[in-house]
Amino acid sequence: MVHNGTMTGEYSKKSYMKEGPANKGFILWLQIQKIGTVNQAVLPQILILPYWKTFLNVTAIDKTETQLYWGLSFNRNSDRKLLDKLKKAIYALDKKIVTKKNK
């Protein structure tokens, strides 16, 4: 059960069911979209929820007309090195993104 946060920083008394990452775990979700699709969230962004954080972003897929809208939910016990590897693997789909390794 999760209590939603408000824009004022308060938490709702009413809770709802939402799946989040297990202790030391993560949840990665991906949506394939037509390139240029606008999503409601300002990207990139980290959503800070009471029990975990979710990193949101969009990545173009090289040599296609598609993009990935994706989120990576994690908690304070998640393996940071593994999370970084997952992000780098997604970013590698877009060869136009400059990383420290390919500068």
Query: Residue 97: inside a domain, yes or no?
Result: no
In a domain? residue 43 = yes
Asked if the structure places residue 99 within a domain, the reply is no
Residue 72 covered by a domain: yes
The verdict on residue 58 lying in a domain is yes
Please provide the average confidence, as pLDDT, over all residues in the chain.
85
Model confidence pLDDT, tens digit, residues 4-36: 666 677 777 777 677 789 999 999 999 999 999
Report yes or no on 67 lying in a domain: yes
Question: Is the residue at 41 inside a domain?
Answer: yes
User: DSSP labels for 48-78?
Assistant: E-SS-EEEEEEEEPTTSSEEEEEEEEE-TTS
Question: How many structural domains is the chain composed of?
Answer: 1
The confidence score (pLDDT) of residue 14 equals 76
The answer, yes or no, to whether the previous bond of 44 is cis (omega within 30 of 0) is: yes
Q: Is the pLDDT of residue 58 over 50?
A: yes
Residue span of the structural domain in which 61 resides: 21-91
What's the pLDDT at 5?
66
Q: Is residue 27 part of a domain?
A: yes
